[in-house]
Structure 1
């Protein structure tokens, strides 16, 4: 009887999980396998893929070192700048804001996602172009200031575009904070600054790590912001992939870069999870 019951439960569980497993296998595992196969092939004379077994594409990765360098430098910097800006905002929303207006303020954080990133990035192109902020700076004596098509413009676009994704995990972590711990700290004579660094910040670090992992992983594959605000001068790995697959039609080399990017993303995620678990101890930490 118990065996039949367990078998029935197992079948029900398998039936419920099967659609998700099939989805992941078809849209995640199979494309990655195809990309892995392409990465050890050769470029056909007319472009595309030609069957072979060679690691020459991986040996040629230094040819795109500028894209890797820009990505591996600007993506972490952008993530940490997002963190510096996002934490005070999330802290105010979760701890200081009146419950009456909290939902409205959180909605305002999400509002930018209602508009296409392409439109918002084009708006920044105008603001950072010759008729925008540089023109205003020229009127007060700062002539020949160029912001657009520089790493600074790309960094600014990154922070603007991904800031809400950093705010929300931190906000959720702070919103779940037990206020009695703050009251206990104050009753024991701790000053607000000491309470923040000894209670609030440690308990919110899982949310911080979640935001950092989420934003960094997305930035590693970013294409639009470097393309528009970098003007073809600040290449990310995503720009290199578009060039190799759609213009150069060098699918094996593009696949090798994509496989390397996936390895980097997994490495970043594992590090973030390890740090988060160390910080949280036995508390449950969800990064994805």
Structure 2
């Protein structure tokens, strides 16, 4: 018998490999978050959807009856379509301005901040130390007819709509930009802070102009922050109602103002729930299309 045969005969059957035991620890760690989502998101969302199908002829005094009235959706959209368009338009403008303002700021903090990075980041998030409502009320004072902003613009002979800033569309958008700008800056900073400066230097060594370095190197590598920042800015801005209520008039009211009025003042719960679900669906569709077209998989 050959040495190879003796070796095979002596070793016997190969031992069976033990399969690793299935660990339940990851699922246990996810359990608290899952329960939180079920109790505070899934259950209220289901209840809200059920409310949107109540008989619209009901009232708070006589109660509502489930009649599976899907016409609540078409009626709500037809009646308040301008408010939907205004909300999406304001949110898109707010996101664009926040990106134009926030990108240079995030780049300056990440690349040029040096030892002052932490201080500059605290300055960015400092407005969060104050209530959202108080910050918006402060803008109402700043943009008032007797405030320094209007006085300065009048001194510079800058034309203003109706001779004022408060209760106008620019005032509402200014409030939205101010309140949601940190949501744009922080994700951009997180992406730009990880940027390898040697890549930019290499582009310069290859005689790339500053514009080419930005469009071909810096911007593609920071696209995860751009996508995250635009989503974190656009979604809450589309559903906001505080800025339009305090800085605008009923001509600037967004769909959030209508929903708030239907729920808390009019008591028309079916219409308010239908408007809420329609807004969520519209935002989900827009976000899905945006992520598919500007997703980070294509630029990394």
- Hey, what does 1:81 align to over in structure 2? 97
Pair 282,2 (structure 1): closer, same or farther in 2 beyond 3 Å:
farther
2:109 maps to 1:93: yes
Q: Give the TM-score, by structure 1 length.
A: 0.89
Distance 2:179 2:195 in 1: 27
Over residues 40-83 of structure 1, what are the superposed CA-to-partner deviations in whole Å (9 max), with x where a residue is unaligned? 11235433632211112112122112321210111101110111
2:234 maps to 1:216: yes
Distance 1:145 1:90 in 2: 35
- Hey, what does 1:191 align to over in structure 2? 209
Report the RMSD for the aligned CA atoms in angstroms.
2.1
Farther off after superposition, 230-239 or 147-156:
230-239
5+ residue gaps, structure 1? 284-288
Pair 25,129 (structure 1): closer, same or farther in 2 beyond 3 Å:
same
SS at structure 2 position matched to 1:129: coil
Distance 1:187 1:219 in 2: 42
- Hey, what does 2:250 align to over in structure 1? 232
- Hey, what does 1:174 align to over in structure 2? 192
Distance 1:35 1:192 in 2: 52
Tell me if structure 2 keeps the 8 A contact 1:217–1:268.
Answer: no
CA positional deviation for 1:135: 4.2
SS at structure 1 position matched to 2:250: coil
- Hey, what does 1:59 align to over in structure 2? 74
Number of aligned residue pairs: give it: 278
For the pair shown, which has the larger CA radius of gyration, 1 or 2?
Answer: 2
- Hey, what does 1:29 align to over in structure 2? 42
- Hey, what does 1:203 align to over in structure 2? 221
SS at structure 1 position matched to 2:28: helix
SS at structure 2 position matched to 1:215: helix
Which of 108, 122, 139 is the matching residue for 2:137? 122
- Hey, what does 1:250 align to over in structure 2? 268
CA positional deviation for 1:281: 2.9
Over residues 160-200 of structure 1, what are the superposed CA-to-partner deviations in whole Å (9 max), with x where a residue is unaligned? 11111111111111111111211211222222222111100
Distance 1:235 1:184 in 2: 50
Distance 1:206 1:4 in 2: 36
5+ residue gaps, structure 2? 1-16
SS at structure 1 position matched to 2:222: helix
Distance 2:298 2:287 in 1: 18
CA positional deviation for 1:12: 2.4
SS at structure 2 position matched to 1:233: helix
CA positional deviation for 1:13: 2.6
